[in-house]
């Protein structure tokens, strides 16, 4: 049996607390104008004391249950894409399952960094395509403030906290819902963006703490260049193999890492500004959260209608990147 998965509900959650560029000027040697010019970011959201990844994920999931008017016990499977789980184990998917009362579901976390949501969406869609499940909850949620060094100006201005989620259900026709994905990894680029400690290679110790090894480290210029190249290549390839061009897209939803990365990819794909979803100015890079948050906002802003062709594209640590092509079915 083969059928596509379609998105039947979207939800997002952003913490209340805002951290703007002026606040960051008080923490590191930076300026509002540098951050705006080089990244497009005006502010980002940060969790309050004690607020967890699973709290944000649960809030996004509850929006989905409301929108779809269904009980949590109808969910078959939960996949949480994240690099900042509440803890290594149990998985945040299990914590979330308990928080929302999804008593019939099983679940797992998936680590694909900034591409985590696309990896999770493609994975969840397989359980629908095979006919195994009817309702799969896909969450992208990250508390980036928990792994950012607020004394490192090269990274602390770029990230924020937030969560988004979608519900997948079966469709009947071929070119409905999620009809193609193209996902990539290249471990050779792992050295450009990583968190060295906390895993089994460098377990937490006084030394790893003293050496700031529990924070994000990156070669921003390399990631910048590779992100543009990777996002443009997968976007072109997935469109071309269905005979589409950028002109056929109703909406391009790129991962939100840097406005200049988005603009460069948009230019190379020959897209008009009205075809592109951008909200990085409000939330910065929420890692696995960016794409589902964008989808939830696009829906709130009535920028999506049934039958629209939508391209999701991401790039992140791993290196990981990819595209998903879908017909919007809501
Ligand atoms: N405020 C002021 N000055 C800064 C800051 C800051 N926050 N950060 C760096 N600078 C300085 C640098 O020290 C450098 O000074 P120098 O010339 O005296 O050495 C100067 O600004 C230029 O630095 P560059 O690194 O060349 O600046 P660039 O234009 O490349 O922007 C940035 C840096 C924003 C990190 C960019 O490279 C980028 O966005 N890279 C992608 C990284 C990313 O998004 N990673 C996250 C996840 S992966 C993904 O999602 C794609």
**Both 245 and 142 in a single domain?**
no
Q: Which residues are within 8 A (CB) of 40 and not within 5 positions of it... i.e. 6 or more apart?
A: 258, 259, 260, 262, 278, 280, 281
Measure the CA–CA gap between 301 and 220, rounded to whole angstroms: 32
Residues 216/232, Cβ–Cβ less than 8 Å: no
Residues 103/73, Cβ–Cβ less than 8 Å: yes
Per-residue pLDDT reduced to its tens digit, 141-155: 999 999 999 999 999
Per-residue pLDDT reduced to its tens digit, 259-300: 999 999 999 999 999 999 999 999 999 999 999 999 999 999
Residue 173 confidence (pLDDT) = 76
Residue 1 confidence (pLDDT) = 53
CATH number, residue 272? 3.40.47.10
Per-residue pLDDT reduced to its tens digit, 290-316: 999 999 999 999 999 999 999 999 999
**Both 213 and 284 in a single domain?**
yes
Residue 154 confidence (pLDDT) = 96
Question: Once rounded to an integer, what is the mean pLDDT over residues 202-220?
Answer: 97
**Both 47 and 182 in a single domain?**
no
Cβ of 202 closer than 6 Å to ligand 1, yes or no, is no
DSSP string covering 185-233? E-GGGGGGEE--SSSSSS---HHHHHTTTTS-EE-HHHHHHHHHHHHHH
How far from chain centre, in Å, is Cα 68? 22
Decide which of 146, 170, 194 is a domain's last residue: 170
Per-residue pLDDT reduced to its tens digit, 95-142: 999 999 999 999 999 999 999 999 999 999 999 999 999 999 999 999
Question: Residue 197: pLDDT above 60?
Answer: yes
Q: What angle do CA 309, 291, 46 make, to 5 degrees?
A: 155
Residues spanned by the domain of 296: 178-327
**Both 184 and 238 in a single domain?**
yes
**Both 146 and 187 in a single domain?**
no
Q: What angle do CA 108, 110, 113 make, to 5 degrees?
A: 155
Residues 117/138, Cβ–Cβ less than 8 Å: yes
Measure the CA–CA gap between 63 and 41, rounded to whole angstroms: 26
**Both 297 and 228 in a single domain?**
yes
Mutate to test the pocket of ligand 1, among 23, 38, 150 (most ligand atoms within 8 A of CB): 38
**Tally of domains in the chain:** 2
Q: Average pLDDT of the chain? A: 97
**Both 113 and 39 in a single domain?**
yes
Cβ of 154 closer than 6 Å to ligand 1, yes or no, is yes
Burial class (CB in 10 A: 0-12, 13-18, 19+), 70: middle
**Both 166 and 186 in a single domain?**
no
Cβ of 285 closer than 6 Å to ligand 1, yes or no, is yes
Residue 32 confidence (pLDDT) = 98
**Both 212 and 130 in a single domain?**
no
pLDDT band at residue 2 using 50, 70 and 90 as cut-offs: confident
Residues 239/311, Cβ–Cβ less than 8 Å: yes
**Both 137 and 183 in a single domain?**
no
Q: What angle do CA 319, 146, 202 make, to 5 degrees?
A: 60
**Both 230 and 116 in a single domain?**
no
């Amino acid at each position: 049996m083969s059928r596509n998965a379609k998105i039947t509900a979207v939800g997002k959650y952003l913490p209340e607390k805002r951290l703007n560029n002026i606040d960051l000027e008080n923490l590191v040697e930076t300026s509002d104008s540098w951050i705006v010019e080089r990244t497009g970011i005006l502010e980002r959201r940060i969790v309050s004391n004690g607020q967890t990844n699973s709290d944000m994920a649960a809030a996004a999931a509850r929006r989905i249950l409301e929108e779809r008017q269904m009980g949590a016990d109808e969910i078959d499977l939960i996949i949480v894409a994240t690099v900042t789980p509440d803890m290594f184990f149990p998985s945040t998917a299990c914590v979330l399952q308990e928080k929302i009362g999804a008593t019939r579901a099983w679940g797992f976390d998936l680590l694909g960094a900034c591409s985590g949501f696309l990896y999770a969406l493609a994975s969840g869609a397989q359980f629908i395509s095979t006919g195994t499940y009817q309702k799969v909850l896909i969450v992208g949620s990250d508390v980036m403030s928990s792994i950012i060094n607020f004394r490192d100006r090269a990274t602390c201005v770029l990230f924020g906290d937030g969560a988004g989620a979608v519900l997948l259900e079966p469709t009947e026709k071929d070119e409905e819902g999620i009809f193609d994905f193209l996902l990539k990894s290249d471990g050779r680029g792992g050295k450009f963006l990583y968190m060295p400690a906390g895993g089994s290679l460098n377990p937490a110790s006084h030394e790893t703490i003293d050496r700031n090894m529990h924070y994000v480290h990156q070669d921003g210029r390399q990631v910048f260049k590779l992100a543009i190249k990777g996002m443009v290549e997968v976007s072109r390839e997935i469109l071309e193999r269905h005979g589409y061009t950028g002109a056929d897209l109703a909406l391009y939803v790129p991962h939100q890492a840097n406005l200049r990365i988005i603009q460069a990819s948009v230019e190379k794909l020959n897209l008009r500004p009205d075809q592109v979803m951008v909200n990085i100015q409000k939330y910065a890079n929420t890692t696995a959260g960016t794409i589902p948050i964008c989808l939830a906002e696009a829906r709130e802003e009535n920028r999506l209608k049934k039958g629209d062709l939508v391209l999701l594209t991401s790039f992140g640590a791993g290196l990981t990147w990819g595209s998903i092509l879908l017909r919007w079915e809501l």
